[in-house]
Each structure stands twice: as structure tokens, then as C-alpha cells.
Amino acid sequence: MYDVLKIREDFPILGREVYGKPLIYLDNGATTQKPKCVVESIVNEYYSVNANVHRGVHFLSQQATELHEASRETVRKFINAKSINEIVFTRGTTESINLIASTFADSQMNEGDEVIVSAMEHHSNIVPWQLQAAKKGIKLRVIPISDKGEILMDEYKKLFSEHTKLVSVVHVSNVLGTINPVKEIVEIAHANGVPVLIDGAQSVPHMKVDMQEIGADFFAFSGHKIYGPTGIGVLYGKEEWLDKLPPYQGGGEMIQNVSFEKTTFNVLPYKFEAGTPDYIGSTALAKALDYVSEIGIENISAYEDGLTKYAMKRLYEIPDMRIFGEAAHKGGVISFLVGNIHHLDMGTLLDRLGIAVRTGHHCAEPLMRRFGIEGTVRASLGMYNTKEEIDSLVEGIDRVRKMF
């Protein structure tokens, strides 16, 4: 039995009011709220364990190191990676993608080489490649999508050539909610001898992701979108690939020996973790993953799927409703516009009713252009949202519609 009311009790912020109205938080795609155990983990570690990791012989340093490395194992298990050597802690999805864009382009790409992305990428899977394009003369090729918001697989297959060096696509769109067929995308790329990076920012919090099943060479996600703290995320990379790539940043932790003449680099995953890592954050992230695992990611997935279908059905009852993203496989991200009401007006008025949604281009301007719009209103669901909250959203939207 999925007890959403019991889950909500673990998230103190969900009990607060805004403008004298109960908060209805539907901006989980941007960031999720934190359960008590995650916040307590941060407080407890600072109060009772805090010491820099990896370098100290003293008790606290060793205890902090043990916690940090145990967290890496928790992440490994959560995404079913083969080895902890494949788990690199970063600041988040954005840094994970930048790490690969920079080191992959530096070591594996030459002028005229190409990266395939999709039309529904977040800016964080476009701009890092453009920075490399400016430096190295590489090009972006873009997989088109259908009006329903699905990747056109036949068009994707046509984009491969001898210039293709990497495919980098999003798992779940932060605008359309589309769940892309990443396993098939990987199989096609591999059949062409091309490795794949998956942006899992919006998938990991909502569905079981299994690195060995998906088979991608790289995979990125953020802690704060899966009920963990801000400032920490993960880059998964197959060992054979991470071994091949050069370091991203230089400094402490990532070296074995340094002299002014020559430096040798540390083993995986430390080669990619220059400087003091966010060891407080890694422990709190592990707590968040444990919390999710206790409820069961499959249970969360099934619950959110039911809620998404309910929300789609109810939203379509509103006259002049346009929903962007009607893929057959869709997660709990719903972007919409009603009549000619500007997304900002809708968002601002919903906010006054205590309903937190996001408005704008959602860091996906090329996707907005694809649909010929400037922006949308986006409701994105989390494990603690309820049908009653969806009903309030629908009532709120209808109220705003009638005002216009």
C-alpha cells in the first residue's frame, strides 16, 4: 500500500502555507523537497563527524571517509553500476555533462566530428557541446521529434556517419515528460560504434534505472532532484571509457604523485574528483536514495504514473487547454498553455492560490521554437503529490481562465 499521507509527514515543508493557503508544490522538475532524514544527515555529520576525507590518519577523517565511500556504494547499487570505480561525484547533471563534453572532445574528437543530440535537450546538454564546437570545430546534429514529443527513431538512424563520435540524449524530457527509449537509442549507437551519454536528471527520481540494462557509456544525474541535497550529483561512466579520458580539473585528490616536472594521476574515480569533495552532501544523497529505496522506486513510479494519467485527464477537461508532450511513455511532467493566457500570468496567479508551478522556456529554448511558442506553464510531480492537489491545480487554472 502506497501511503502518500505518511510520506508527506516526512517532508516538513509540505505542511507550510503561502499567502495563507496550503502550499501545493508542483515544481519537482526544478528541485524536490527534502525528507527529514536527509536534512538530519547534514546536521548530524557536521555536528559529529566533520573532517576532510581521504587524507587524514585521525579518527574523524577516517570516519568521514568511510561515510563518503559507503555513499558511493549506495549510489552504485541504486543504479546497478558494475563497480564503484564508475561512480564519480560531481556538482550535478550540468557538471557531469560538462566533464564529459570537455574531456571527450579534448581526447576523442577532431574538427568536423559530430555529436548527436535531440530536439528536446535541456540547455545543459546543448551549451557544453557548443563550447567545444567553438574550440574544436565539432558539430551538433539534432534528432527531430514528432508533434506528440517523441524522438523520430528513423531520423535518428539517418544521422550516423563516419563523423559521429558521440550520442548525448535526455532520458526523460523536463518539458514534455517524454520517456525516451534509451536502451534502443544505445543499441543503435553501439551498432554504429558510437558511445552514448544519457542525461538522467528527470528519470532517476521517478523510475528504476539500471546501468547494466540501459548499457549507456555515460549517465548523469543530480542529487537535488531525487530528494537529496543541492550541490551534489553523479557521473556514471563505464570504466573502460573513464580510463581513456583525461582528467577534467587539476588539484588535490586527483593526483598520485606531483613534481614540477611530471604529475601522475589517481585511479578511478578519484582522477575526476579534484579538490575536497562534498562529503557531507554524498552522505545526505545516500540517505535520500535509501529513503527512496525503502518506499521502493517501482512503487513511486507506479504511483506517479497513476497521478500523471489522472492529471492529464483532468487538465483536458479545461476548455482551450493545450498540453505539450503526449508521448505514449510519459513521466509526471506536464507542460501546458490555456487559450491566449501568457504562461507568466498563469504562473503568477496560480502562485497566489498557493500553487507552485514553473513558467517559461524551462532551459529548453530550441524545444520552444520547435513548438512555435515562447514558454509554457509546467506542473511536475513528485512522490508526495496527491489527487487532491491535482484537483486544486485544475480548479485554479479554471479560475484564472475565467478571469481572462
Q: Which residues are catalytic?
A: 363
170: contact with ligand PMP by CB under 6 A:
yes
Burial class of residue 370, CB neighbours in 10 A (0-12, 13-18, 19+): middle
Among 103, 174, 308, 335, binds ligand PMP (CB under 6 A): 174
Residue 381 Cβ vs ligand PMP, minimum distance, rounded to whole Å: 14
201: contact with ligand PMP by CB under 6 A:
yes
365 within 8 A of 123, measured Cβ to Cβ: yes
399 within 8 A of 383, measured Cβ to Cβ: no
364 within 8 A of 175, measured Cβ to Cβ: yes
283: contact with ligand PMP by CB under 6 A:
no
Q: Count interface residues toward ligand PMP (CB under 6 A).
A: 13
Question: What is the SS3 assignment for 258?
Answer: strand
Residue 15 Cβ vs ligand PMP, minimum distance, rounded to whole Å: 26
92: contact with ligand PMP by CB under 6 A:
yes
Bond from prior residue into 269 cis (ω within 30 degrees of 0): yes
93: contact with ligand PMP by CB under 6 A:
yes
Q: Which is nearer to ligand PMP, 32 or 266 (CB)?
A: 32
Q: Which is nearer to ligand PMP, 194 or 201 (CB)?
A: 201
Contact stretch for ligand PMP (CB under 6 A) within 108-116, 142-150, 199-207, 388-396:
199-207
Residue 344 Cβ vs ligand PMP, minimum distance, rounded to whole Å: 18
End-to-end, the C-alpha distance of the chain in Å comes to 42
72 within 8 A of 283, measured Cβ to Cβ: no
Residue 150 Cβ vs ligand PMP, minimum distance, rounded to whole Å: 16
Is the CA virtual torsion 268, 134, 174, 181 positive or negative? negative
Question: What is the SS3 assignment for 207?
Answer: coil
222: contact with ligand PMP by CB under 6 A:
yes
Question: What is the SS3 assignment for 364?
Answer: coil
* Eight-class DSSP state of 270: G
CA distances from 91 to 103, 235, 284 (A): 17, 9, 14
Site for ligand PMP in 118-137 (CB under 6 A): 122, 124
Among 32, 33, 41, 94, binds ligand PMP (CB under 6 A): 94
- H-helix or E-strand containing 402? helix 387-403
Among 202, 282, 335, 380, binds ligand PMP (CB under 6 A): 202
Residue 183 Cβ vs ligand PMP, minimum distance, rounded to whole Å: 18
Q: Apex CA 227: angle with CA 238 and CA 235, to 5°?
A: 15
Site string for ligand PMP, 309-328 (x = CB under 6 A): --------------------
Contact stretch for ligand PMP (CB under 6 A) within 3-11, 56-64, 150-158, 195-203:
195-203
CA distances from 207 to 210, 216, 378 (A): 10, 16, 20
Among 45, 114, 199, 217, binds ligand PMP (CB under 6 A): 199
Binding site for ligand PMP (CB under 6 A): 29, 92-94, 122, 124, 170, 174, 199, 201-202, 222, 363
